[in-house]
Every structure is written in C-alpha cells, then in structure tokens.
C-alpha cells in the first residue's frame, strides 16, 4: 500500500473529499467530529472494495451510499440514548449573528439535524445534492414513493417548525424523533 | 417568505460552505484499513480459540484426551482462551516432510510442495513460504515472485514473525487449533485477497497469510490448514513471555490491554498503535486519546460524574474514567505516534464516548 500517486481511489478522495465531507456534515447534523467519523468509516469501506467499485466506475455513488448508511447505523446505535457529552460537543447557533436570515438558516439546519436520519438523508440528497427522486431512491435502497413521502413529511416538519419559531424560537423537542 | 425547499437549499449550502475534511484523510483511511484487517483476524482467532477451549473442556469431562497447559505462566493473568502453545514435536504424517528453520521451529508440508526457508522478505521476517507450486525468492514485504507463479488450483502461504510486536494485544494466544483467519484485502504488499491469521506462541508473535488459486479444491485447503497446525515454535526466553512482561508492569502485554483493544474495535474507534507500554492510542474523528486500565478502586472515583449509557463516567481533571468488569477504564487526550495535524489530542466526541462505554460493558473481560 505504498504511496502510489496514480491510485485512482486516492485521486478520487483527493478530488472529492471536500464534497463528501460536506455531505457527511449535513448527514451528521453539522457535528464536525461525527462527520469526520462518518467520512472515515465510509472511505474505509470503499477502500476495502476499491478495485471492485472502480471496475464499475461508481466510486462516488458507493461512498455516498456508505455515508448515508453509516449515518443511519450511527443513529440506530444512539437512538435509545439521550445523554449529553461531558465535553459539551453539541452544535450550537452559528456564531450568534443577529441577522434574521442567518438565524432562520440556523434554525432550519438544527431542525434538519433533529429529523430521523433517513428523512434527513432524503432532504439532503434531494435538496442539497439536487438529485432526482429516482436517484435518491437508488442511493437509499427504497422506492420512489418512499422518497416522496419522506421528503413530504420532512418538509412538513420544517414548515411546522418555521411557524412555531416565528414567535417562540426553535425547540428541538418539537421536531420529535419519530422514524420514517 | 421563500418556499421551504428554497430556504432549505440555501441553509444547507451556507451551513457547509468552506467546510473541509481533515488534510490527512487518505492516511487515516489506510491506517484504518490496516487496523481493520488485524482486528478482524484477531477477533476470528479469538473466537476460534474460545470455541476450541470449550470443546476441549467438554472432551476432558468426557474422559477424552487432554493436553497439558502451556507452561510457566501459572500465576500470570491469562485469557481463558489461552489453551496451549505449540504441540510437541512428532514425526510428520506419512507422505509429508518436516522442515526446520534451524532455530528450533518446525513445519510439516506434503511431499512435493515447495518450501522456501529463504524467502528474502525484508519485513516482516518470514520463517517459511510454502506453495503447492514453485516458490521462487523475491518480494520486499510479500512473496510476490511466488505469488506470480501460483497455479490456479494451488495454494501459497507465508509464516511470518513480527519481531517487534509493538502491539502485542492484537495477537491472541495460540489456541488448540489454528484456522486460516478471515479473508480480506486486497492485502497490503500482497495486492490480492489473503487469509490473515495472527497469534502469539511462546512469547513470539506471528502472522500467517494464505492465498488460494481460484480453482483450489477443498482438499488443498484442508491440507494447508493441517500444515499450519503442525507449526512448532521454539518459545522465547521466559522473561519475554507476555505474562512475565505484564507482571513487570508492561501493561500492553496484559490481558487487560487485549480487552481494551476488543472494546476499541467493538466501538468502531480506530486503534492507532500505543503509547509505549502504558496505553493504547485511539482515534475518533480528529481526536486522539490514550486508553488504559487500572484495578478497581474502592469508593467513588471522584470528579464530576455523569450517567452515560447506564454507566457512571467521571471527569477527573483532563481524563475520564469509569468502572467496568472490576477494572477502571481510563481515557485521556494524547497524541498518537501516527497522527498528524489536524488530528490532535482530545477526548472523544459524545457519540464516540457512548460507543466506548457501551462496548466496555458488553465486551467481557475474564482474567484468570
């Protein structure tokens, strides 16, 4: 495993790691440490299968799917737990910018982070990646109908949150944790 | 107000704008991949050893043939999976040939198989490379010259010794029977998928890597397993036995270190070597930390404590500790010998800590 500069997998990582990290960041609810964990897990899985996935010329699709699966796995692991970090690593508001636009975006991202992971993944892939519903369904291994319903429910929760937050601010508890 | 889809798009774009991954992501992936192989092999070998130990116990109860325990470590803490070391020397089976390395180590292989005692590998040191086909010398860290000659229905395996054994906790004690180890890869140096078996025998640390041709039969595979099980290893000096080193205060040689390694693996935290013989280095995200155990203390650990995953975790100064299985497991920010910025010392994130606490509870520890 020498430092082969022409290794296609390494080239892929070099070219796409920023995009993949940003995807991981959204899937991890903007938690940097969790995003790095997710990226590491997904890339390690891809590394182990790099020859097979390179043959199919689908490295990015494989890693993207691995990231989504890792985020869902992580949530399953943690779903029964509700402790907070001793080192208080919770993501917080974005720097306390008073501008309403920044505050509104921050609310949305925190609300997104509180959605169930599959619902969050649908919204991230659909609206950040701008993927067609059929492609989202392929990545998530579900039907187009499921993607539509998950997106609809996720957006409805965000809208509901927007209404509630107009006068009272955001409370993550209102978003709930029902899985979809 | 803009529609929610547009708002969400803008919010997500703004949230991740300029976010960059760790600079050494490739190095982390490589390191994790390598560790994953070793972890998988260690887990497999340990599981086989436990099963065989149980089978041996049942056989003994039924009056079956029993073997003496590996000698010289009666007062040392030892894993219940530590059944035996090398079998005693005996003549090879009919049709087989015994090979010696001149240092007191032996292996048997079917007559007609090719055995190279001089595989000319730089590292790790190879005792033998055995193949059903030709075994020409060549290769720096794997017998690549022999690999190129591997027949479609053949097998090639290398018995290599890790002379440094800087991470003894990943090598489970040799059990009564050796398997081939899990198939993984393509393996470092070899460039193909290999079975990887790790074990400790007589205070020495070995890895056996095996490759089969695509048309290798079950009979060939069985013969390879049988050959590997004929390995007789001359034990190292008594003072270098893991139990003696453990008693001498070198914690990474103790069963407790092997337990911590299994906890790290189960928690999906990366093992990044060790901090001398005092602690194992872990990595979660970009934070590296040391992990070690001490004996259970009477009374409270002290500090600020919090319930995490059903376990009281206490924050004492810059370290965390919790009680489990009669031990106290400690974590402390520490620079790993293999990490480069932006990886730096730090306690694990909330999620990684939860995984470690949970894993420490369900991964059992049983000192003799």
Question: pLDDT 10s per residue in chain A (180 long)?
Answer: 344 446 778 888 888 888 888 899 899 888 777 788 788 878 877 877 777 777 666 788 888 888 888 787 766 554 444 333 333 333 333 334 445 677 778 888 888 888 888 889 999 999 888 888 888 888 888 888 889 999 999 998 888 876 665 444 333 333 333 333
Distance, in Å, from the CA atom of B221 to the CA atom of B107, rounded to the nearest integer, reads 16
Residue that finishes a domain, picked among A55, A80, A105: A80
Together in a domain, A75 and A133: no
pLDDT in tens, B199-214: 999 999 999 999 999 9
Instruction: Specify burial of residue B318 (Cβ count, 10 A radius: 0-12, 13-18, 19+).
Output: exposed
The pLDDT mean for chain B works out to: 79
Q: Which residue is associated with the tokens 């008693």?
A: B247
> Quick check: helix, strand or coil at residue B224?
helix
Q: Do A155 and B5 touch (CB under 8 A)?
A: yes
Q: Is residue A86 a part of any domain in this protein?
A: no
B350 to chain A: which residues are within 8 Å by CB?
83-87, 89-90
Asked if the C-beta of A49 comes within 8 angstroms of chain B's C-beta atoms, the answer is no
| CATH code where residue A151 lies | 1.20.140.160
Measured CA to CA, the distance from residue B85 to residue B221 in angstroms comes to: 23
Give the tokens for residue B269.
Answer: 């935290």
pLDDT tens by residue, B332-360:
999 876 667 678 899 999 999 999 999 99
Which residues in chain B have their CB less than 8 angstroms from residue A26's CB?
12, 15-16
A50 and A113 inside one domain: no
Q: How far is A4 from chain B (nearest CA, A)?
A: 12
Interface membership of A22 toward B (CB under 8 Å): yes
pLDDT(B62) > 80: no
Q: Which residues of A touch B15 (CB under 8 A)?
A: 25-26, 30, 94, 105, 109
Q: Is the pLDDT of residue B46 over 80?
A: no
Residue B81 has pLDDT above 60, yes or no: no
Interface membership of A66 toward B (CB under 8 Å): no
Per-residue confidence (pLDDT) for residue A143, from 0 to 100: 86
Backbone angles phi, psi at A48, to 5 degrees: -65, -25
pLDDT band at B159 (very low <50, low <70, confident <90, very high): very high
CA–CA dist B81, B176 (Å, integer): 9
CB B130 within 8 A of CB B227: yes
**Do residue A51 and residue A103 come from a single domain?**
no
Q: A73, A83, A91, A94: best mutation site toward chain B, by most B Cβ within 10 Å?
A: A83
Most confident region among A174-178, B2-6, B261-265 by mean pLDDT: B261-265
| Token pair in block for residue A176 | 């709930």
On the question of a common fold for B45-63+84-237 and B249-362, the answer reads yes
In a domain, A169, yes or no: yes
Q: Are residues A101 and A170 in the same domain?
A: yes
Best residue of A92, A100, A108, A124 to probe chain B, by most B CBs closer than 10 Å: A108
Residue B72 backbone dihedrals phi, psi, to 5 degrees: 85, 5
Selected from 3.40.1000, 1.10.3470, 1.10.287, 1.10.10, the CATH number assigned to the domain covering B45-63+84-237 reads: 3.40.1000
- Residue B116 CB contacts under 8 Å (≥ 6 apart), including other chains: B128, B129, B130, B135, B136, B137, B143, B146
Which range has the worst mean pLDDT, B4-13, B42-51, B299-308? B42-51
A153 in contact with chain B, both atoms CB, cutoff 8 A:
no
Task: Give B270-316 pLDDT, tens digit per residue.
Answer: 888 888 888 999 988 888 999 999 987 666 778 888 899 889 999 98
User: Does one domain contain both A119 and A161?
Assistant: yes
The predicted model gives B310-338 an average pLDDT of: 89
Q: How many domains, chain A?
A: 2
Tell me the CATH architecture of domain B249-362: 3-Layer(aba) Sandwich (3.40)
Q: What is the pLDDT of residue B139?
A: 72
pLDDT on residue B15: 85
Chain A residues in contact with B287 (beta carbon < 8 A) = 33
More confident residue, B13 or B47: B13
Contact A74 B351 (CB under 8 A): yes
With tokens 């500790």, the residue in question is: B321
A14, A56: one domain:
yes
What per-residue confidence (pLDDT) applies to A176? 35
Which residues from B are below 8 Å from A94, CB to CB?
15
User: Of B2, B10, B18, nearest to A128 (Cα)?
Assistant: B10
By Cβ distance, the residue of A10, A41, A108 closest to B7 is A108
Contacts of B7 in chain A (CB under 8 A): 104-105, 108
Check whether residue A101 and residue A76 sit in a common domain: no
B219 contact partners, CB below 8 Å, separation of at least 6: none
Chain B neighbors of A47, CB-CB under 8 A: 29-30, 33
* pLDDT at B154 > cutoff 70: yes
Backbone torsions φ then ψ of B71, nearest 5 degrees: -85, 160
Choosing from A47, A80, A113, the residue where a domain stops is A80
Cβ-count burial of B326 within 10 angstroms (0-12 exposed, 13-18 middle, 19+ buried)?
exposed
Q: Does A1 touch chain B (CB under 8 A)?
A: yes
pTM over 0.80: no
Domain that holds residue A18: 8-80
Phi-psi region of B165 (alpha: psi -120 to 50; beta: other; left: phi over 0): left
**Domain locations in chain B?**
45-63+84-237, 249-362
Nearest to B8 among A13, A22, A108 (CB): A108
Cβ of B29 within 8 Å of Cβ of A47? The answer is: yes
């Amino acid at each position: 495993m020498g430092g082969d500069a022409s290794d296609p997998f390494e080239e892929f990582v070099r070219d796409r790691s920023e995009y993949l990290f940003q995807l991981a960041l959204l899937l991890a609810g903007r938690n940097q440490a969790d995003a790095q964990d997710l990226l590491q897990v997904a890339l390690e899985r891809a590394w182990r299968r790099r020859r097979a996935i390179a043959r199919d010329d689908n490295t990015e699709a494989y890693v993207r799917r691995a990231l989504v699966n890792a985020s869902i796995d992580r949530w399953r692991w943690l779903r029964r737990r509700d402790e907070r970090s001793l080192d208080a690593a919770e993501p917080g508001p974005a720097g306390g910018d008073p501008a309403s636009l920044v505050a509104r975006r921050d609310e949305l991202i925190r609300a997104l982070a509180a959605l169930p992971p599959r619902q969050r993944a649908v919204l991230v892939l659909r609206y950040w990646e701008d993927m067609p519903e059929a492609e989202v369904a392929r990545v998530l291994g579900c039907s187009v109908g499921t993607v539509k319903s998950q997106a609809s429910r996720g957006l409805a929760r965000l809208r509901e949150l927007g209404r509630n937050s107009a006068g009272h601010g955001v409370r993550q508890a209102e978003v709930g944790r029902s899985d979809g | 107000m803009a529609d929610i889809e547009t708002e969400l798009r803008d919010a997500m774009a703004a949230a991740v704008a300029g976010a960059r991954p760790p600079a050494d992501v490739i190095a982390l992936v490589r390191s994790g991949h390598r560790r994953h192989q070793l972890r998988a092999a260690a887990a497999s070998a340990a599981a086989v050893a436990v099963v065989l130990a149980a089978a041996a116990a049942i056989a003994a109860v039924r009056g079956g043939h029993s073997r003496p325990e590996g000698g010289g470590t009666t007062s040392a803490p030892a894993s219940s999976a530590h059944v035996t070391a090398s079998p005693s020397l005996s003549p090879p089976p009919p049709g087989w040939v015994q090979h010696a390395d001149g240092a007191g180590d032996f292996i048997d292989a079917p007559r007609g198989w090719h055995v190279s005692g001089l595989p000319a590998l730089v590292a790790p040191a190879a005792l033998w490379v055995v193949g059903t086909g030709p075994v020409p010398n060549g290769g720096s860290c794997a017998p690549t010259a022999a690999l190129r000659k591997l027949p479609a229905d053949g097998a090639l395996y290398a018995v290599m010794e890790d002379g440094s054994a800087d991470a003894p906790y990943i090598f489970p004690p040799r059990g009564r029977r050796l398997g081939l180890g899990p198939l993984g890869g393509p393996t470092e140096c070899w460039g193909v998928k290999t079975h990887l078996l790790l074990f400790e025998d007589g205070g020495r640390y070995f890895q056996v890597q095996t490759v089969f041709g695509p048309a290798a039969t079950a009979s060939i595979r069985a013969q390879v397993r049988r050959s590997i099980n004929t390995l007789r290893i001359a034990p190292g000096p008594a003072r270098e036995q893991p139990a003696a080193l453990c008693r001498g205060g070198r914690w990474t040689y103790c069963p407790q270190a092997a337990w911590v390694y299994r906890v790290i693996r189960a928690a999906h935290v990366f093992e990044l070597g060790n901090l001398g013989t005092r602690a194992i280095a872990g990595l979660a995200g970009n934070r590296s930390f040391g992990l070690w155990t001490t004996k259970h203390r009477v009374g409270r650990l002290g500090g600020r404590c919090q319930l995490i995953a059903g376990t009281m975790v206490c924050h004492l100064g810059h370290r965390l500790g919790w009680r489990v299985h009669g031990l106290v497991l400690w974590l402390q920010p520490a620079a790993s010998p293999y990490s480069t910025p932006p990886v730096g010392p730090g306690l694990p994130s909330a999620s990684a800590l939860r995984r470690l606490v949970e894993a420490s509870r369900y991964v059992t520890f049983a000192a003799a």
